[in-house]
Amino acid sequence: MAHDHSHHDHPHDHDASCAHAHARAAALPEALATAQAACAERGVRLTPIRRTVLEALLESHAPLGAYEILDALNAKDADDKPGESKSGRGLAPIAIYRALDFLIEQGFVHKLESRNAFTACPHAHAPHDLVAFLICDACGGVDEVSPAPLAQAVTRMLAQEGFAPRRQVLEITGTCAHCHG
């Protein structure tokens, strides 16, 4: 069972000393390398903008909306060269959305429909595997699990119904062990 221990604090309550934030940061280089290798193997390109969006999501231990990603990238761009961005202008929202579409299609990012936000996926599962997100109402944290028995049960149910899924994402809201315990 894949389990993402990179528990997220509420987006407006980041704690850099959080063990989950450290785990997420430690996974970043390997997750980027895995994405790069997967793209090469699949014959697709992890362009600079796609890589930058993925990196922004990997750096955050909270799910981000598209405009939050845009703001973070434009702020980072301005920090790199004060007074001017690398491109000479801010990134356009359409560039972020196109990058997110690619990253979702490749299985590197998931969209949390209930939050209209995106979270990086450091796991090496197939792009269309069943993924369950445990979303904490108290802290905004998101844990990702892919339990084989659940996936098998859903696959059987879909086959019985003759339904061909395009995407399989299950969102479960409640209180995480950190907040509950």
pLDDT value of residue 17: 43
Q: How many CB atoms lie within 10 A of CB 80?
A: 10
| 39 appears as a binding residue in the annotation | no
**Closest C-alpha to 63, from 101, 115, 118:** 118
Q: Which of 84-88, 96-100, 148-152 has the lowest mean pLDDT?
A: 84-88
pLDDT value of residue 118: 94
Residue 27 token pair: 């996974």
Helix (H/G/I), strand (E/B), else coil: 160: helix
| 179 appears as a binding residue in the annotation | yes
Q: Residue range 96-105: average pLDDT?
A: 95
Across all residues in the chain, what is the average pLDDT?
Answer: 80
Q: What is the pLDDT of residues 123-163, one digit of tens each?
A: 767 667 788 888 888 877 788 888 889 989 999 999 999 99
Residue 105 token pair: 């299609």
Q: Report the alpha-carbon angle 54-118-170, nearest 5.
A: 125
| 136 appears as a binding residue in the annotation | yes
**Closest C-alpha to 109, from 30, 50, 43:** 50
**For domain 19-180, is the CATH number 1.10.3470.10?**
no
Point out which residues pair with 111 in neighbouring strands. Answer: 118
Euclidean distance between CA atoms 177 and 145, whole angstroms: 14
Quickly list H helices, 43-175: 48-59, 66-80, 93-105, 148-161
Domain residue ranges of the chain, discontinuous segments joined by +? 19-180
Burial code (b: 16+ CB inside 10 Å, e: under 16) for 155-181 equals eeeeeeeeeeeeeeeeeeeeebebeee
